[in-house]
Amino acid sequence: MVSRAFLATAASGLLTFVLAGCSTNDNGAAGQQPGAPTSTSSTGSGVSGSEPRRPESLWALEPCGLITDQQAFAHGYDSKAQRSVGSTTSCEYSMTSAPTITLTITFSEVGIHELEPDSSMTAASHRIGAYMVIEAKSTTAPRCTLIIGVGDADTVGVQAKSATADDACRHAASIAEQIEPLLP
């Protein structure tokens, strides 16, 4: 197998990871679009009962649908914008009163085991609920990203920018814990 290095950048351009040792998936194709999502009536935002129904595929969800406008407002965010670049879809939340404080939720077709933080980050692995998480804290800027491994080939990134990297990590972890029950 030929070893390749890729640079994966979140749609907002805020997070850089180096993909080392790219391998093929079960059907022998590298980077192929995941299986077509099954059609469901749930988008992840209209959940009834005390336990949300988990979708079969990450791609049945929308990044901007993982937290409600009321939940975003409770964290101080008053605007959001959804963006798509290639196979990456993201939702960026911001505060009108403090434009340097942001939250970005990103879906990517990259397995968590393919990611390594770049040299400007420190990384630690842990779990949130049922998911393996890489916490990547910037050593050069007040930001932190939690990458949640969803299945073998998809990830959800929760990146926060705040006054300090530690504050950003606390905030990203709070949001990641909040959205974990909605993930497949």
Confidence of residue 56 (pLDDT cuts 50, 70, 90): confident
- State residue 18's pLDDT score: 35
Q: What is the pTM of this model?
A: 0.72
Give the distance, in angstroms, between the CA of residue 23 and the centroid of all CA atoms in the same chain: 21
pLDDT at residue 150, rounded to an integer: 95
Return the pLDDT at 161: 95
| Residues 6 or more apart in contact with residue 23 via CB below 8 angstroms | 1, 30, 114
Model confidence at 10: pLDDT above 60: no
CA distance 4 to 9: 16
Q: What is the 3-state secondary structure (H, E, C) of 81-132?
A: EEEEECCEEEEEEECCCCCCCEEEEEEECCCHHHEEECCCEEEEEEEECCEE
Residue with the bigger pLDDT between 12 and 178: it is 178
What is the DSSP secondary structure assignment for residue 40, as one 8-state letter?
A: -
Please give the mean pLDDT across all residues of the chain: 76
Cα gap 33→52, rounded to integer Å? 26
CA distances from 41 to 20, 61, 82, 150 (A): 37, 11, 21, 21
- Which fold would CATH assign to domain 5-24+55-182? Protein Transport Mog1p; Chain A (3.40.1000)
| pLDDT at residue 50, rounded to an integer | 55
CA–CA distance, 54 with 50 (Å, rounded to integer)? 12
pLDDT of 127 higher than 90: yes
Nearest alpha-carbon partner for 182 in 111, 128, 102: 128
| Mean pLDDT of all residues in 80-90 | 90
